[in-house]
Amino acid sequence: MSNADRISEYIVREFLPDLTPSQLPHDQDLLGDGAIDSLGVLKLIAWVEHHFQLAVGDTDLDPENFRSVAAIDAYVARSQSAPVTGG
């Protein structure tokens, strides 16, 4: 299972439980379309940190990093290839 598939699977389970992961396009705007609210973003960040074993620093809290499955996937890839600068 790719990272993107894992992310999709989590988002669907937590926020859109009537969907199947295949019904969630990877470029779907999760924030603009109200799929995830502001508290949901916190949960999502906590899950990303735990699941991918990385620390989301203050400078990474930009919602753009969590706007879509593709954006989160890219963020995780960037974070895993760079030294952790957490904060």
List residues binding other proteins (CB under 8 A). Answer: 14, 16-19, 23-24, 28, 32-35, 37-43, 45-47, 49-50, 58, 61-63, 87
* Contact of 75 with 45, CB cutoff 8 Å: no
Q: Which is nearer to other proteins, 48 or 73 (CB)?
A: 48
Least distance to other proteins from the beta carbon of 50, Å? Answer: 5
Check if the beta carbon of residue 45 is closer than 8 Å to that of residue 66.
Answer: yes
Closer CB to other proteins, 45 or 74, in the complex: 45
- Contacts for 43 with CB less than 8 Å, ≥ 6 apart: 14
Residue 64 CB, nearest distance to other proteins (Å)?
A: 10
